[in-house]
Structure 1
């Protein structure tokens, strides 16, 4: 299950106080991999199902095209998703709102998998503020997402952002240190293009930022991914074969019910 995401850890995340997560990196090739998202935005929503491969294999993931996928919530809404090709299953009429708990049930290749996720209340991404600093004699940039954390402790955030059309970068925030306050943790923008998948940030580039309010289990999943690439620093990264999933029966991947707030910014 490598390269599902390109994830970059910021210098600020490397010094955070999140709980360390122990990971088992045994070969999990042949396991079901599920990527499922439900948001407060209009559907359709999608569930992607394929199989993992060993770290030593090429990134060719066999798709699972004959699964039974059912999505429901705690109000009685339920829908069986349609397979639209390439292992992607899609809703037709399902609607999602904050505060509800969503359940995903999948029957595939003789096994049953279930997962639940509660969609948090939305937090608005109000603005983005640019800053810069020197690294090895070169100018690097950060963007500070402007949002106010609610007073209740336990809010979790996932940021995905990209420079122009580069691959997305991911960072996970919690409110353990900044509960109820204006956010003070910036997003570190790429300062090199050596990996061939991101590009060095420069004046005139457009940065697209998406802030998700996620539940604790999804935060744990992405925190584990970030921990795996902790030693690589910005620009490096691998995806572990089995970060702690919220899906039962040994499946890899995650199911996330989350809210979405988006902004873009042009580097000055």
Structure 2
């Protein structure tokens, strides 16, 4: 602050200060890895990229990670070289290597510049079944920019699961929501010379949309070892006509984690929750289990994991919500909604 005051004084007294260009050292681009093998049928996907400099467009895969040789192998000698299906995206064969409970798995990467990377062995641990998947209704209170209280109706999705006794267990959850909408393409209006004119469309009123919950959700059993984990929050869905005009299906996946994988995801979770206050956790690097074979000091971002998976699905209807859900109004072809499809999912009831 003293330096800032001094600069202000110099500006006022001297009239102007000649600008000085301060060189900012660019950091090295780091390899980014995201991969997982499970006990479910493949294909399994490994994504590679390089970190970007501040201010750069973060989009397409960096040239360094294209045309790499990516291999998954286990402790029994099974080896599979993945195919690059998209720049930086590598997949196993559908009927190729498959994770098994108790198996140990590693990832090996050889970039086209000759640099090689390998992950530490990950043991695929079992995961208990999801005993119960259920919902509760809640009203959340928040303040808007005018410091007014805003009440939001939400449907919370929760999980119960029985934790095995006398051992450390670590968990991660993900979820995917699918819902049907019924729109009104016959009511479509188009603006012509600043005037809305009816332009009815003949298709399509029925669509299905899918939302993936990308929040990091992990837990360990220190508080419930050998007991039932009750009420683990999975996600919450706004109780609005868009989601519940017809019905909403949520599928939850419960994963087993190694201790190192849990520590990695827990660090990412804590850092992503930072609000910029003095009470935020101190910055820390999430420790990857991947290293450069010839240069162990090189930092790598990401993790290659091995997990068992337990799944459970639940349909939620407007009758399950203790408030009135109005009709969903969308006067257009439902296919104009992002990530929509007119193809009815096989699991839809």
Q: Same fold (TM over 0.5)?
A: yes
| Distance in 2 separating the partners of 1:86 and 1:209 | 29
SS of residue paired to 2:228: coil
- Rounded to whole Å, the distance in 1 between the matches of 2:118 and 2:132 is 37
* Secondary structure, aligned partner of 1:147: strand
CA distance in 2, matches of 1:130, 1:28: 46
How many aligned residue pairs are there?
232
- Does the C-alpha gap of structure 1 residues 128 and 59 become closer, same or farther in structure 2, counting only changes over 3 Å? same
Is structure 2 residue 286 aligned with structure 1 residue 243? yes
1:257 aligned to which of 287, 292, 306? 306
Pair 1:105 & 2:108 matched: yes
Are the aligned partners of 1:49 and 1:87 in contact in 2 as well (CA < 8 Å)? Answer: yes
Aligned match of 1:80: 81
Aligned to 1:149: 163
Shift of 1:200: 8.8
Q: 1:28 to 1:167 in 2, by over 3 A?
A: farther
Matches of 1:28 and 1:130 in 2, distance apart?
Answer: 46
Aligned to 2:260: 217
Question: Are 1:176 and 2:222 matched, yes or no?
Answer: yes
Question: For residue 187 of structure 1, what is the aligned residue in structure 2?
Answer: 233
Where 2:290 maps in the other structure, the secondary structure is coil
Greater Cα shift, 87-96 or 37-46: 87-96
Aligned to 1:119: 124
Match of 1:34 in 2: 33
Q: Cα distance, 1:192 vs. partner?
A: 5.9
Alpha-carbon separation, structure 2, partners of 1:76 and 1:144 = 40
1:18-76 Cα offsets, whole Å, 9 max, x none, are: xxxxxxxx986621111111110112222211212135333214242221222111112
Contact 2:130-2:311 at 8 Å conserved across structures: yes
Separation in 1, partners of 2:311, 2:105? 23
Cα-to-partner distance string for 1:201-259 (whole Å, 9 max, x where unaligned): 75733222111112112211211111012235xxxxxxx99522111132211101101
Aligned to 1:70: 71
Cα distance in structure 2, aligned partners of 1:27 and 1:262: 44
Offset, 1:101 = 0.8
Aligned twin of 1:49? 48
Unaligned runs of 5+ in 2: 1-24, 142-150, 179-209, 276-282, 293-298, 321-349
Out of 44-53 and 170-179, give the one that drifted further. 44-53
TM-score (norm 1): 0.76
Q: Quick one: which of 140, 147, 160 aligns to 2:174?
A: 160
Does 1:205 pair with 2:248? yes
What is the distance in 2 between the residues matched to 1:200 and 1:171? Answer: 25
Partner of 2:57: 58
Q: Using CA pairs below 8 Å that are at least 6 residues apart, which structure has the higher relative contact order? A: 1
Indicate the RMSD between aligned Cα atoms, in angstroms: 2.9
Moved more, 52-61 or 154-163: 52-61
CA shift, 1:157, in A, is 0.8
Q: Does the 8 A contact of 2:156 with 2:237 survive in 1?
A: no
Per-residue Cα deviation, 1:129-170 (whole angstroms, up to 9, x for no partner): 212233224333322212111113321111112443223233
Contact preservation (8 Å) 1:163, 1:201: no
